[in-house]
Structure 1
Amino acid sequence: MSVETLKVKILVENRVAKENLLAEHGLSFLISYQGENYLLDTGQGLVLINNMNNLGIEVSDIDGVILSHGHYDHGNGLKDILALNSEIEVYAHPESFRVKYSKKGDDLVLRGLNINREEIKNFNSIEEATEIIEGLWLTGKIARINDGEIISKKFKKEVEGTIEEDGFSDDQSVFIETEQGLVVLLACTHAGVINTLEYIKKISEGQKIRAIIGGMHLINASQKRINETVDYLDHLDFELIVPLHCTGFKAMKAMIEKFRDKVKLGEVGEEFIFNISEGK
């Protein structure tokens, strides 16, 4: 009896403890599913190719790159990938290519991508929920229903020469179907963990969420918001949660205290394997 599997490998993360692999402030996953391989995000571009080489992953093995949003620590490795294979399919919300900033004191610091949309030969615009192969979905723009998940006003974008607050209409996540439930990959979750998971439940017609892996942008959240997020997660009956990147130590601590053995603190090089279904 053979068992089909979904594999999610961390290629870029803030932490590492394995020989020849490197860490940076950023995130990238390799998703291996239904015989195809996709990158979700590409980190800053400082360590991705090194880590892929040392993990035995060729750019020629990659069928597509998904960008979760237009920040440097998630998308600046794309340029290196395209330099090695300009034909690769790229999936992103078009707003990802705005000039983006974060406010630091009175200054605006560039936080956007180092690549323009026009430089991408095979660009796929994702603005709403989209199944890119059977069972592998991008959320597109995430509906905001939870008033408690307010986006920081420090994030800005440039629109026709004017600086505006960035509401992150480009922010999206990935979810993958298995018979035991959805595996959700969160990249930075600027839209909010609760908003994102509620939206995924809606567009998946209420499928069980089996696992949640990724950045949850709770690093600067109040304890109240962290507690509300953990209370929400407690009602999902998931098997595994892997808080990464921008989740923050306070939120990680709260999850460990609440969920104990269901929490795994991931690092570069780790792989999570899920049975999709069993076949003869």
Structure 2
Amino acid sequence: MKIVTLVENTCGHEGCIAEHGLSVYIETEKHKLLLDCGQTDAAVKNAEVLGIDLTAVDTVILSHGHYDHSGGIMPFSRINNTAQIIMQKSAAEPHYNGERYIGIDKDILALPNVRLIEGDVRLDDELFLFSGITGRRCYPQGNRKLLRDEGGEKVQDDFAHEQCLVIEQEGKRWLLSGCSHNGILNILDKYKEIFSGVPDYVITGFHMMKNDGEHTDEEKAVIMQTARELVQMDTVFYSGHCTGIPAFDLMKTIMGDKLIALHSGEKVI
């Protein structure tokens, strides 16, 4: 198995681009796939630098319907128009941060290889997708400004469009989520319902980034409680992107070696 962070907010390889976005390249026994495509064509450019052949990718999983995960799909499609692009049907709906549109490029929906799904889907014996996370423990505070369109009216996003990828390989399970908008603890609760136990490894942002000043005491309490619960699990977590450096550093003081930072261009395994 091979996993490389193609795009992340921070750079870990000379010549690679960092941007606010996420894209992860994965090779399994049966697949070459991408979880998300970043915000621009950075994933394509970084793959060239790293010697990764994106024309061989057979599957793209879009974790949710935001621009910083989907913006690279059109540049990717110009070099690879055969890979299946799988997203929840509701990921195609309009999404906003306040008044600002942050949803996907609608041209993506015209691609013939896009597959819209609803709910949980097992793709094969290696790949499983699940959504429908409804818990709200330690819910990311940054979600409060994020909206979706419902009948022409902007309402609080419930992140029904978020899906998680589980990869079963070499006797281990990897759980991948772009941002964990539904909260990583709630995602893991849903994972436990399906698989029992916890995954061996998790790759995700925790959506704890804050752009308008320091975290409040309430926000810090959510971050620390999340870290305290995660460190009790027999799981290693790889995180970055929307986690934000202050939140990551705070979680690191609690989780130690169980929390590892992601960077553009770096190999995970």
TM-score normalized with structure 1 length: 0.86
| Correspondent of 1:177 among 158, 168, 171 | 168
Are the structure 2 counterparts of residues 114 and 251 from structure 1 closer, same or farther at C-alpha, using a change threshold of 3 Å?
same
Which whole-Å deviations, capped at 9, do the CAs of 1:210-241 have from their partners, x for residues lacking one?
A: 11222111224701111221121022122x22
Aligned to 1:259: 255
Are the structure 2 counterparts of residues 178 and 58 from structure 1 closer, same or farther at C-alpha, using a change threshold of 3 Å?
closer
SS in 1 for 2:243: coil
Task: Tell me if the contact between 2:228 and 2:255 (Cα under 8 Å) persists in the aligned partners.
Answer: no
* Separation in 2, partners of 1:37, 1:89: 11
Task: State yes or no: 1:89 paired with 2:84.
Answer: yes
Larger % of strand: which? Answer: 1
* Separation in 1, partners of 2:66, 2:264: 20
Which whole-Å deviations, capped at 9, do the CAs of 1:190-223 have from their partners, x for residues lacking one?
A: 111111111112111x143211222111224701
| Correspondent of 2:226 among 207, 225, 229 | 229
SS in 1 for 2:68: helix
Residue 116 of structure 1 deviates from its aligned partner by 4.1
- The number of residue pairs the alignment matches comes to 261
Task: Tell me if the contact between 1:10 and 1:271 (Cα under 8 Å) persists in the aligned partners.
Answer: yes
* Separation in 2, partners of 1:115, 1:131: 26
Q: Which amino acid aligns with 2:229?
A: Y
1:24-35 to 2 correspondences below 5 Å: 24-35=19-30
* Separation in 2, partners of 1:111, 1:263: 29
1:27-66 to 2 correspondences below 5 Å: 27-66=22-61
Task: State yes or no: 1:162 paired with 2:153.
Answer: yes
The structure 1 segments of at least 4 consecutive aligned residues displaced by more than 4 Å after TM superposition are none
Task: State yes or no: 1:209 paired with 2:199.
Answer: yes
* Separation in 1, partners of 2:133, 2:261: 28
* Separation in 2, partners of 1:78, 1:198: 30
Task: State yes or no: 1:218 paired with 2:214.
Answer: no
Aligned to 1:101: 96
Task: Tell me if the contact between 1:92 and 1:124 (Cα under 8 Å) persists in the aligned partners.
Answer: yes
Are the structure 2 counterparts of residues 149 and 99 from structure 1 closer, same or farther at C-alpha, using a change threshold of 3 Å?
same
* Separation in 2, partners of 1:267, 1:150: 22
* Separation in 2, partners of 1:20, 1:179: 32
Task: Tell me if the contact between 1:10 and 1:29 (Cα under 8 Å) persists in the aligned partners.
Answer: yes
TM-score normalized with structure 2 length: 0.90
SS in 2 for 1:53: helix
Residue 187 of structure 1 deviates from its aligned partner by 0.7
* Separation in 2, partners of 1:119, 1:51: 26
SS in 2 for 1:271: coil
1:188-203 to 2 correspondences below 5 Å: 188-203=179-194
Task: Tell me if the contact between 1:181 and 1:207 (Cα under 8 Å) persists in the aligned partners.
Answer: no
* Separation in 2, partners of 1:258, 1:178: 29
Task: State yes or no: 1:132 paired with 2:123.
Answer: yes
Task: State yes or no: 1:272 paired with 2:263.
Answer: no
Are the structure 2 counterparts of residues 179 and 224 from structure 1 closer, same or farther at C-alpha, using a change threshold of 3 Å?
same
Larger % of helix: which? Answer: 2
* Separation in 1, partners of 2:48, 2:138: 42
Q: Which amino acid aligns with 1:20?
A: G
* Separation in 1, partners of 2:168, 2:92: 29
* Separation in 2, partners of 1:164, 1:116: 24
